[in-house]
A = this chain, B = another copy of it.
Amino acid sequence: MLSVTILGNNSAVPAFNRHPTSQVVSHDGNNYLVDCGEGTQIQMIKYKIRRGKISHIFISHLHGDHYFGLVGLLNTFGLLSHKQDLHVYGPAPLQQIIELQMGVAETILPYKLYFHTLTKGEELVNDEKIRISCFPTTHRIECYGFLFEEKEGKRKLLIEKVRKLNIPVSFYTSLQNGLDYITPRGQRINNDEVTSAPERGKKYAFCADTKYDENIIPYINGADLVYHETTYLDNMRDKALERFHATTKQAAEIARKANVRKLLIGHFSSKYSTLEQFEQEAREIFANTELAIEGNTYEAH
C-alpha cells in the first residue's frame, strides 16, 4: 500500500491549529518524509509516526515553512541514538544550512547523514519496491515536486489450483516471481495457470508550492493520488499569481487535465479559519478532491 499521512496542511504562518507543510509517504514498511516545517517532530509524536522508519527526507524548497523543522529532527534522531543511514534531498544551499547549524552546536551525529542536491527532474531512489523522482515546479524560488512510483507487485497465487496440483509451499515464492513449476515426474505447469497478474504499482505525486503551471502535467499524468497546493480560494487568482501560489480551481484544473484519480489539496493560507469552501470550489472542477487534513492518511489506489 502506498499512502500519505498529513502532518501539516497550512502555508507559512501557523494558525487555527494548522501547521506548516510536512507529510509522510508510507510504502511497505518504509516512511519517506516530504518537507519538514517547524513543529514536524512534535506532529510526529501526536500522530504516532514511527520516526525510526524514516531513512529518506525530501525538502521541496527553502522557504522556512517547508524545512525549519529539519535540523531539529536530525538532532532528535541523534539524541535518540538513531543508527541507520539518513538521506536528505534538497536544493543545494540546504547542505550549507545544515552544516552551519550542526557546526556551531558542535553536534556529532551517531548515524551517517548523506546530503543529495536536487537538480531539475531526476531519479532519486530506485530500488526493488519503489522509484522516487523529482520534478521542477514554478515557485518564487527553486522548488521541486516529488513523484513516488510503486513497483509492480508479485504475481498472485491462485491458491486452490496450486494446492490441487500439490505444488510444494517452498516453491510459492518462485511462482510469485513468475517461474513455471516442474513436477517430480517432469511435467511443466505454466506459471499463468496457477497465478494471476500482479496489481499495478500505484503513483503518488506531491506538487510542492507552485503557481498554476501545466508543465507539471507530464510528470503527474495518470497518478492515483496527487497533492496540489491551494493557498487561496479562487477569487484570489491575482494574489496567487503574484506570490507563485495556486487557487482551488487551478489545482483542480491541473488534476483534471492530468487525468489523475484523486486530488488532495492543502497549504491553506492562514487568512482562512475554515476549509469547507476549498473543497467545494475544487470539486466543481474535479469531483474526486479531498482536503488534506492533519493526522489523516490517504491511500493511492
Contacts and interface: CB of A to CB of B under 8 A. Distances in A.
Interface of A: 12-15, 19-20, 38-39, 41-42, 45, 62-65, 68-69, 71-72, 75-76, 79-80, 91, 93, 96-97, 100-101, 104-106, 140-141
Q: How many copies does the complex hold?
A: 2
Contact of A12 (B13, B45, B76): B76
Contacts of A19: 42
Contacts of A141: 104-106
Contacts of A71: 64, 68
B104 A15 contact: no
Given A93-B100, A105-B62, A69 B38 contact: yes
Contacts of A12: 75-76, 79
Contacts of A63: 105
A241 to B, nearest CB: 17
6 contacts: A38-B68, A64-B71, A64-B101, A91-B104, A97-B97, A104-B141
Q: Which A-B residue pairs are the 8 nearest by beta carbons? A: A93-B104, A62-B104, A38-B72, A39-B39, A68-B72, A13-B76, A14-B42, A63-B105
A233 to B, nearest CB: 18
